[in-house]
Structure 1
Amino acid sequence: MVSEPPGPSTLPVLASPPELQSLQDDIRMVRSQLSVFVEDVGKRFETLELNQSQFQVQLGEICETNKKLEFIISNMALQNSPSSPLTTLTDLTPQATPTGATGTRVRLETGQNSTGKPPIVSSSPQMVGSQPPFTPSVFEVGRGFSFPPAPIFSSPPLFRNPMYSSAPGILPTPIMHTESTAQPRTLKPKINFPEFDGCNPRSWLRKCEKFFELYNISEHEKLGYASVHLGDRV
């Protein structure tokens, strides 16, 4: 006679050893820590996705701004391009000037060039062998232009017969308008340099500074002017 195996209710309850209990506690702790870590990683991924979406939005705005800048630059380039009609040299004819020199009058014709290429010169200037360079002097409105002959000086204006004198130098005059400004001169009354007698040096220094300002004395010359105007007592 075969006996049946005992059922679940008949199995003896075995007490878990302490090592197994501590192992179960460690497993629970690891599970709790792992769940916390998973939640933290999920939050970080959500933040990363949000930052990525914001970056894409900013990148789109930057692209739009770049397109607007390119459009503005292209418009500025079109505005700065020459809008005047093209100029073509069509007539080069030698002509005598009032001074007797042989010149060339140039007639200009304007027109639009649809191809955007530079105009073609219809005729080339005549080659002159031993004649001097031409100096055009005729200017006709709407037909041509010319340049006046360059002035000829026997010597440079700034170096014509400089005058030298052995007399001792004098104090510079106050600031005035020169001939180059084409304005009348405005002279100031002559002021003697203050002489220092050893009394009240501050007042003397103020007078010296005022004198240097009126007569535009440079820095390296101030000491020389002051040293020659010291009294005997000093």
Structure 2
Amino acid sequence: MIKGVVAILWKDLRVEWRSRERLGPMVVFVFLIILVFNFSFELGGSALHEIGPGVLWSAFVFAGLFGLNHTFATELDNNCLDALMLAPVSHSSLYLAKMLGNLLFLLVVELLSLPFFCLFFNLSPGLYLVPLVAVLTLGASCLASVGTLFAAMSSNSRLREFLLPLLVLPMIYPALIWAVKATAIVFEHSRPSTTGAFWPGSLTEPVSFLLVYSIVFTTLALMLFDQVLED
């Protein structure tokens, strides 16, 4: 199973490296959203701390939806999805490879856009960079686990660009709320006037929810992926 996951993931990374159809537009899309929101609000520091995390995750989610729409696009365009289904690897391996690929692309986009966001919104994680990276990783894993399943479900539809957001956004909404809350906690504790431990205690609850959400939906997706591909 591991060899199958690695082989499919490596294939997707090579395709993206050659085409650059997904990662580049995702990064540009996040930059544009952050830029538009920055010029749309003329607020003080405290207000920026309140709206900043919501803007950041809105940008990540919509850029992620763009990337998720391309999860199975290459296979469909070249009629390779049937070949992957007939390959001597389990369908679970296909899901895990696609999910890990989406997660990797999301993490790259987040890490590239985070300095840009901090600069324009005058925010900094300070000493809390590790908790912030943990929150971003868990939030991205939630989006990748749910989005990959629904990307497969909508891949054969001619309206998949429209259908995928309708399926993903309601499901990801609870995780999005907790991701925004956790990010706000990190930036709140990073203020110069705020002192505390390396890991804010109030961060435990949202991080725990994101972790459980990611595990539960990844498990459900692994159980349902065979049926999704067959349909």
TM bracket, shorter-chain basis: under 0.3
Tell me the TM-score normalised to structure 2 length. Answer: 0.19
Tell me the TM-score normalised to structure 1 length. Answer: 0.19
User: Per residue, is there more strand in 1 or in 2?
Assistant: 1
